[in-house]
Amino acid sequence: METLTRKQWALLVPLTLAWGLNWPVMKLGVTDYPPITFRTLSLWLGVPVLGLVLVAMKVPFRIPRRHWPELLVLGATNMFIWHACIIVALKELSSGRAAILGYTMPIFSALLGAWLFGTRLAARAWLGVGAAALGVALLLWHEIVGMAGKPGYMALALFAAATWALGTQLLRRTRIPVPTLTISFWMTALTAVVMTVLAVLLERPQWKAPSAPTWAAILYNAVLIFGFAHAAWFALARELPPIASTLSVMLIPVLGVFSGALWLGEVLHWQDWAAVALMVAAIAAVLSPAASRPAAAAQRRARS
């Protein structure tokens, strides 16, 4: 287990706020607009924003050709499938509950790490996963009946979360010898191309000029999500163990639920409040400092 440095906290706090508040923002954006097209416009406007960040920080754009197959796999698992599936599901589900389904990702990540990559998790890591899983179950309590007629969209959101979890594990293990910002830029650019193809194939008859609220949501996503949040997330996911990086952002669906209730009038129940405590417990279980090995050894010597 690993605690966050000041730099990592400086990334995590605004990341959590930007991503958490984005769920009702996206819901407003896709309410009367084709969802894949909405995401496509956000991506294309976000790519130059992220590119300017690379230029300002003097980060190279080049990725050696031999690493492009791995880059495509990372892009597919971290972004292509996630963005296509979750934005379509969000169109039909409430913003808060879509956020909850999407953020079952840490649970999938812990399980995939243990099953596929042989990751050994400490007892408190499993405690955090269990608390997060219970929190998700509580938050979905009153939605099961309401979403019973839309099982396909629930499955789509869960599939997106599971694929993103796999991508997080792969990103942690990548050996592409370039900065994380470079990988983030090219994954974002490639995702824009993929989403453009999907928008043309699936939504072209629905195209129309975005309304003012839709444009506001598109710009929010372009600047704060694709220009900042994704790059910050990939940096955290690459630097931290997957269980720490994923559970460290579990407050995002909580923000999604309560901001959706405030802005969109989505009803809250006691399960929502209980889930907040469970999410905080999950984060504390994973990120609270552990006694260092030298200190523990010194304590054992003192007792003997």
SS (H, E, C) 226-274: HHHHHHHHHHHHHHCCHHHHHHCCCHHHHHHHHHHHHHHCCCCCHHHHH
Among the listed ranges 34-48, 120-134, 220-234, 286-300, which one has the minimum average pLDDT value?
286-300
Q: Which residue has the higher pLDDT, 59 or 268?
A: 59
Indicate the DSSP class of residue 31.
Answer: T
pTM: 0.83
Confidence (pLDDT) at 274 = 80
| 267 backbone φψ class: left, alpha, beta (φ>0; ψ -120 to 50) | beta
Average pLDDT, the chain: 84
Lowest mean pLDDT among 44-53, 56-65, 150-159, 282-291: 282-291
Name which residue leads in pLDDT, 34 or 270: 34
Convert the pLDDT of each residue in 193-252 to its tens digit.
999 999 999 999 999 999 999 999 999 999 999 999 988 888 887 777 655 666 656 678
Cα–Cα distance between 66 and 206 in angstroms, integer?
39
pLDDT at 223 (0 to 100): 95
Q: Residue 295 — very low, low, confident or very high, per pLDDT cuts 50/70/90?
A: very low
Q: Quickly count helices (H) and strands (E) in the chain.
A: 15, 0
pLDDT tens column, 255-266: 888 888 888 887
pLDDT at 228: 92
Per-residue confidence (pLDDT) for residue 84, from 0 to 100: 97
Would you state the pLDDT for residue 146?
58
**Beta strand extents in 135-221 (DSSP E only):** none
pLDDT of res. 28: 93
